Structure 1
Amino acid sequence: MPVTTIPLPENFDYDNQSYVVPGTKRPGQTAHYRNAAFGLVSVETPNALKTLPEVFNNGYSMNPDARLLGHRPVLSTNPLKFGPYVWQTYREVDIRRRRIGSALHALFQSGELVGQDMETVGIWSQNRPEWQLVELALHAYSKVGVSLYDTLGKDSVEYIINHAQLSVIFTTVDHIPALLKMAPKIPVLKMIVSFDPLAPQTRAALAAWGETVDVQVKELGEIETFGEAHLAELIPVTADKIASLCYTSGTTSNPKGAILTHGNLAMSAYSNMYGIEYPPNSCLLSYLPLAHIYERVVELTTIAVGGCIGFFTADPLRLLEDAQYLKPHFFPSVPRVLNRVYQSAMTAGNVPGLKGALFRTAVQTKLDQLHKTGVNTHALWDALVFRKVRAVLGGNLLLVSTGSAPISAEVIDFLKIAFFCEVTEGYGMTENCGTCTHTFKGDPSCGGTIGPPQPVNELKLVDVPSMNYMTDDKPNPRGELCVRGSNCFSSYYKDEKNTKETMHDGWIHTGDVAEVDDHGRFKIIDRVKNIMKLAQGEYVALEKVENMYTACPLVGQIYVHGDSLQSYLLAVVIPDPIVLAPIASTILGTKITPEDTALLKAAIQDHRIVEEVMKRLSVEAKKNKLAGFECVKRIHLSLDPFCIEDNTLTPTLKLRRKDAFAKYKSELEALYALGEPKSDSSKL
């Protein structure tokens, strides 16, 4: 019998969502917290999914002929048009994963591919069915997967290939020339496998180039044909067998390769099966990068419950079109996407006249009901107002999840009533397979929190005296969040220094500061790192300040800067053109659209625009109760965003602070040269 989802107990007490393990309190730290609905699960739990082949087999056993991997085929290239989704079933995927896995096993056995510490296989591609086919083959034949970010810079790609000793990489045709160019610097690489069929002329040219650098160029179809001729039985694995080296993008140094085992990843998927309910063969829209742990684990969970995965067309501008065709039940997302959905819905609905009045009444009525009862449906207002909002993502949503960065309670609660489905906020990191906490379905007051521990985890807080966060603080304990469980890694690959900094006494020290409320829910409130001291001796957590200001709809991006020789903070603000354009139009008395880049660039030079942006930032600071020294006192506006290409963002879109400062060094120094601002003035 397959393992199925485990729903939340009836009449669950939302006032007590986690419990304290007796006898675990120590000086300088809280007791250990566990999930109150389900307790602690581990690889010893009866029927737990302990390896990745078990995850696939569980979904397969529900219905081998159910759809699993879907994509929209290209109908024409000029103009570019895509058809409706076509699908591969669990049974078809099983056949293909066995062919690919058998081929790789034979190639490693023959010495054509070389495994040094372990038999590693690289994948460098945007999300597509072939990504999962190869990954599932690696799980089944005890190979170690290494994903390369599609947006990684050349230096990081070289570093990971050499560090992980990748002798074979599966990729898309556009990456093959880059790999062949860097071949002299990555002598370990012996084979490149193209996901895309190659035109005869292209194939001949790439193969000839490959011969000159001792690298074979193959197509996936060739690998499958070879595997069919050399079919081998699946290779049994245990929970402690390494399944993946998952590299996290460093903001200041080389990527770190977290060693993730079958047990780590499978138990994360298993833990996610608690507290949810899915219809048979429910559907997920895959668009967040599969190279990142968040998307990887939600897709593993989807497979575990017998669901299906529809891949987007790789064009963010077609994402809503993809959703219309797919009509997904599950939409994993991130705050920057959901904030844009929120802003668009509010702009469209909050208009003058009867339409705007109806929208505001609908929103307030449903919010009041949500906060009192946890119920987010309403027969009248859903039919009259919110049905259109829900239809934007296909109309079938059951669950929207968000993670990777903070999101405001205001946005979470609006999305709950607008989509009238469950919207859950979670917290995780590569080192715990993206699984640590998430909010419970139906909790009327969880907005702004990350919920209780996942069933697979124990959490505790540890004092951070340098920042005055203590576990005996009132009313809520505060401190650095620490986590352990079957899903947690034990080390970084060939990196003892970073391992020692992260792992202490079997606990991952996350670097995030949290508090736990009287309902047993956690909330991220600060970051241990990126602390700087102002000239008057006050400590400021720059990431915390940035996260507060990012909630302002006008802010597309923000970099907050401090100097220990100065007593106040500055910021570079990249306004959102959609929000900026109407503000600039009103102030300047001329019509400016979001597409009028030249006019917007001129507008942000006007002191009235700068003052208006500053005024809105001040409102956000007041709303978030920032201390005076935490408030930005002067700003520079720019329409040149921080991005991966200029090295100011990591591939996971985290700010590289050193490079961000270098980009705007002269502008920031000019702002400090103006002298200290008057405390009662917002002049810039």
Structure 2
Amino acid sequence: MNATRLFDCMPVQAAAPVGGLLNAKVNGEWKPYSTAEVHTMVNQLSMALLNAGISAGDATTEGRDKIALISNGRPEWVILDLAVQQIGAILVPLYPNSNAKELEQILNEAEVRYVFVSNAELCGKITEVREHIPSLREIYAFDEVAGCLHWTTILGPLKSGDEEKIKAESNKVRAEDVTTIIYTSGTTGRPKGVMLTHKNILTNVLDSSKVLDQVPAPNKSALSFLPLNHIFEKMCTYIYLFNGFSISYAESMETIGPNLREVKPDIFTAVPRLLEKVFERIMGEGQKLTGIKKKIFLWSITVAEQFEISGTSAWYKLKLAIADKLVYSKWRAAIGGNVRAIVVGSSATPIKLEKIFTAANIVILEGYGLTETSPVIAVNQYHPHLRKFGTVGPLLGDVEVKIADDGEILCKGDNVMAGYYKNPEMTAEVMQDGWFHTGDIGTLEDGKFLKITDRKKEIFKTSGGKYVAPLPIENKMKENHFIEQMMVVGSGRKYVAALIVPSYTNLLPWCKEHDIPVDNHHELIKDTRVLDLFKKAVGGFNAEFNHVEQVKKIALLADEWSVERGELTPTGKMKRKVITEKYDTQINRLYADGQIAAGCIEVSPAHV
């Protein structure tokens, strides 16, 4: 493919198991948008924007018009994205759960002309701050919203000469032109506007398409539910489109299960948190079984945990085949029956989960990248020799990586951003000698597989002057199915400790078996039997770390961390600063001499 711009690669046709190139639920029924309909609507919207005065301006990023998009994933999202691209304007996609103040700040910085939203709530957010955004001309909604113009009001039949006008504008767009400014949610600080060009994204898409080619996908069907304003899902959307896949959009995060069974996709993308939730449900259902059925279920979990990509014995393969027929096949049926691979990004996937899902013939393809790298730097692939547990796979295409003296991963290639919007100082900080500094620490295993060991900024020093990388400790201990979420602390302190959110899906059945009341989580985490359970779990893992890294005390928390409460980013990463501030009292208790507060546990030397 010789194209240099994203919109040059629009699909000609697509398989359509659910009905169309793009599909969404409307009034309980799947509504398909055929390839021809998508093409027509993209051109109609492009013409409407041109008629409204939207253009590439003077070809500089600052001089080109910006269109903001705040919506859940749906066909209209993709149609607007493609329309904006082909006339040379710049799309500014934003998280729907952003607060009004943050939206106002970003819309002003980008000097956005028009905002497209999905529903009444988002229309209300923008209306609330509209008078403070002088560049904003109009708000359009995809849903029917009182007091907000419906987006179809600007669509009209294409007139003679319209397609030539669109083509003339698109011919002005260059590969190096910025096509989107994506504001990173960030785990700390103010969002940064990452400028990505057509070339940035397209080279990443084309190289990633070679990975998709390996996955058995006879139906060419994908389900999408991650935020499309995040570069991971946005880029994967282009991969699907360029390779003729039908994309169906889940109604919500709560309906993923039934939507999977309806769409029966070959592939979908996810974050590790979702895999953890799926496995918790699997374990929850398994714990309800009795007798021989429960024994078979627990045996199948043990078999899956022993899975290796290569080198398994004939005896193990026989056990795997039996477990597949009796148990794993039911797991696949629960997610539609056709899923062959799940592409996972955003944060580290516990090796235990990778093994369990892959053993069930649902291959986990964990990758790594950043918004600034469009995003993929490395990814595990479907072919066994291109996969390795505990790593993020081999480097993608022509992406270059080198490991700095301090262990930081540096990246170079056509995928690296044009810079941060209106922030040359920060751009210069991360771009040095032509290399993008990722802020992640890692190694290349076997000279081929990239392994992420921690975030450079998250490594801390104890009061004894010893450095501790929290991520490997957290990832290892989360392999215990009673540990849902965990954050290691200890910066400037005399030892390492941790906050732990129990997996209540697994803990509550255990508590019932031991006659422990489960109605109140705040009381449950004070029970001495529960405390001892976690004491032994952490103590068992401590043996795998050196003395400085061992977790000496832990505090159990009653409430799960979430995006809604602000402890997690929209892609599931912990906001360590927010969590540290919110649980300051609990953390201080972990370091109070001679005091073991309610819900806090000292992991004694006997368990270390």
Q: Is the contact made by 1:374 and 1:442 (CA closer than 8 Å) also made in structure 2?
A: no
Q: What does residue 518 of structure 1 align with? A: 446
Alignment of 1:213-362 (within 5 A): 217-225=148-156, 231=162, 232-234=165-167, 235-236=170-171, 237-275=173-211, 276-277=213-214, 279=217, 282-314=220-252, 316-349=253-286, 353-359=291-297, 362=300
Greater Cα offset, 153-162 or 637-646: 637-646
Greater Cα offset, 544-553 or 239-248: 544-553
Cα shift at 1:70: 0.2
Q: What does residue 634 of structure 1 align with? A: 553
Q: Is the contact made by 2:56 and 2:64 (CA closer than 8 Å) also made in structure 1?
A: no
Question: Matches of 1:333 and 1:501 in 2, distance apart?
Answer: 31
Q: Is the contact made by 1:410 and 1:447 (CA closer than 8 Å) also made in structure 2?
A: no
Deviations 1:360-402 (A, max 9, x none): 5556667557532699997654333221110111001122111
Q: Is the contact made by 2:307 and 2:356 (CA closer than 8 Å) also made in structure 1?
A: no
Q: Is the contact made by 1:329 and 1:397 (CA closer than 8 Å) also made in structure 2?
A: yes
Tell me which of 170, 180, 190 is aligned to 2:116. Answer: 170
Q: Is the contact made by 1:325 and 1:394 (CA closer than 8 Å) also made in structure 2?
A: yes
Deviations 1:93-145 (A, max 9, x none): 00000011111122125999xx9521111000111111111011112221211
Question: Matches of 1:644 and 1:218 in 2, distance apart?
Answer: 30
Alignment of 1:141-540 (within 5 A): 141-172=87-118, 173-198=120-145, 202=146, 206=147, 217-225=148-156, 231=162, 232-234=165-167, 235-236=170-171, 237-275=173-211, 276-277=213-214, 279=217, 282-314=220-252, 316-349=253-286, 353-359=291-297, 362=300, 370-372=309-311, 381-418=323-360, 420-443=361-384, 446-464=388-406, 479-518=407-446, 520-540=448-468
Cα shift at 1:294: 0.8
- Unaligned 5+ segments in structure 2 are 597-601
Q: What does residue 136 of structure 1 align with? A: 82
Question: Matches of 2:541 and 2:204 in 1, distance apart?
Answer: 36
Question: Matches of 2:426 and 2:392 in 1, distance apart?
Answer: 26
Q: Let me know the Cα RMSD of the aligned residues.
A: 3.0
* Alpha carbons of structure 1 residues 580 and 109: separation in structure 2 relative to 1, 3 Å: closer
Deviations 1:73-97 (A, max 9, x none): 11xxxxxxx23x2211111100000
Q: Is the contact made by 1:102 and 1:230 (CA closer than 8 Å) also made in structure 2?
A: no
- Unaligned 5+ segments in structure 1 are 1-46, 75-81, 207-216, 465-478
Cα shift at 1:450: 1.0
SS of 2:419's equivalent in the other structure is: coil
Cα shift at 1:230: 8.9
Q: What does residue 212 of structure 1 align with? A: none
Question: Matches of 2:476 and 2:307 in 1, distance apart?
Answer: 25
* Alpha carbons of structure 1 residues 281 and 268: separation in structure 2 relative to 1, 3 Å: farther
TM-score (norm 2): 0.89
Q: What does residue 591 of structure 2 align with? A: 672
Q: Is the contact made by 1:99 and 1:228 (CA closer than 8 Å) also made in structure 2?
A: no
Cα shift at 1:63: 7.8
Alignment of 1:603-642 (within 5 A): 603-622=524-543, 625-642=544-561
Q: Is the contact made by 1:525 and 1:544 (CA closer than 8 Å) also made in structure 2?
A: yes
Q: Is the contact made by 2:193 and 2:421 (CA closer than 8 Å) also made in structure 1?
A: yes
Tell me which of 574, 580, 597 is aligned to 1:661. Answer: 580
SS of 1:529's equivalent in the other structure is: helix
Cα shift at 1:490: 2.7
SS of 2:463's equivalent in the other structure is: coil
Percent identity reads 28
Question: Matches of 2:381 and 2:250 in 1, distance apart?
Answer: 28
What amino acid sits opposite 1:575 in the alignment? P
Q: What does residue 553 of structure 1 align with? A: 481
* Alpha carbons of structure 1 residues 227 and 531: separation in structure 2 relative to 1, 3 Å: farther
SS of 1:437's equivalent in the other structure is: strand
Q: What does residue 21 of structure 2 align with? A: 68
Q: What does residue 599 of structure 2 align with? A: none
Alignment of 1:91-102 (within 5 A): 91-102=36-47
Cα shift at 1:538: 0.7
Greater Cα offset, 237-246 or 352-361: 352-361
* Alpha carbons of structure 1 residues 603 and 518: separation in structure 2 relative to 1, 3 Å: same
Q: What does residue 22 of structure 1 align with? A: none
What amino acid sits opposite 1:320 in the alignment? G
SS of 2:376's equivalent in the other structure is: coil
Question: Matches of 1:296 and 1:302 in 2, distance apart?
Answer: 10
* Alpha carbons of structure 1 residues 104 and 250: separation in structure 2 relative to 1, 3 Å: same
* Alpha carbons of structure 1 residues 463 and 488: separation in structure 2 relative to 1, 3 Å: same
Cα shift at 1:559: 2.8
Cα shift at 1:171: 0.2
Q: Is the contact made by 1:67 and 1:281 (CA closer than 8 Å) also made in structure 2?
A: no
What amino acid sits opposite 2:481 in the alignment? P
Q: Is the contact made by 1:103 and 1:227 (CA closer than 8 Å) also made in structure 2?
A: no
Deviations 1:280-319 (A, max 9, x none): 66111110111111111111100010111100012x2211
SS of 2:111's equivalent in the other structure is: coil
SS of 1:273's equivalent in the other structure is: helix
Question: Matches of 1:510 and 1:551 in 2, distance apart?
Answer: 27
* Alpha carbons of structure 1 residues 403 and 64: separation in structure 2 relative to 1, 3 Å: closer
Alignment of 1:38-49 (within 5 A): 47-49=1-3
What amino acid sits opposite 2:207 in the alignment? S
Deviations 1:527-559 (A, max 9, x none): 211222211111122344333333332222223
Deviations 1:122-170 (A, max 9, x none): 0001111111110111122212111110111233211211111111110
Question: Matches of 1:144 and 1:400 in 2, distance apart?
Answer: 30
SS of 2:12's equivalent in the other structure is: helix
Q: Is the contact made by 2:283 and 2:506 (CA closer than 8 Å) also made in structure 1?
A: no
1:643 and 2:579 matched: no
Q: What does residue 50 of structure 1 align with? A: 4
Question: Matches of 1:73 and 1:62 in 2, distance apart?
Answer: 21
What amino acid sits opposite 2:69 in the alignment? I
Alignment length (residue pairs)? 585
Cα shift at 1:682: 7.4
Greater Cα offset, 549-558 or 506-515: 549-558
What amino acid sits opposite 1:299 in the alignment? T
Deviations 1:20-64 (A, max 9, x none): xxxxxxxxxxxxxxxxxxxxxxxxxxx3442111221xx216789
* Alpha carbons of structure 1 residues 585 and 533: separation in structure 2 relative to 1, 3 Å: same
Question: Matches of 1:568 and 1:393 in 2, distance apart?
Answer: 44
SS of 2:156's equivalent in the other structure is: helix
Greater Cα offset, 448-457 or 372-381: 372-381
Cα shift at 1:72: 1.4
Cα shift at 1:359: 4.0
Deviations 1:375-431 (A, max 9, x none): 99976543332211101110011221111111122211211121x143211111101
Q: Is the contact made by 1:422 and 1:442 (CA closer than 8 Å) also made in structure 2?
A: no
SS of 2:52's equivalent in the other structure is: helix
Greater Cα offset, 90-99 or 181-190: 181-190
Q: Is the contact made by 1:432 and 1:488 (CA closer than 8 Å) also made in structure 2?
A: yes
SS of 1:310's equivalent in the other structure is: strand
What amino acid sits opposite 1:629 in the alignment? V
What amino acid sits opposite 1:612 in the alignment? L
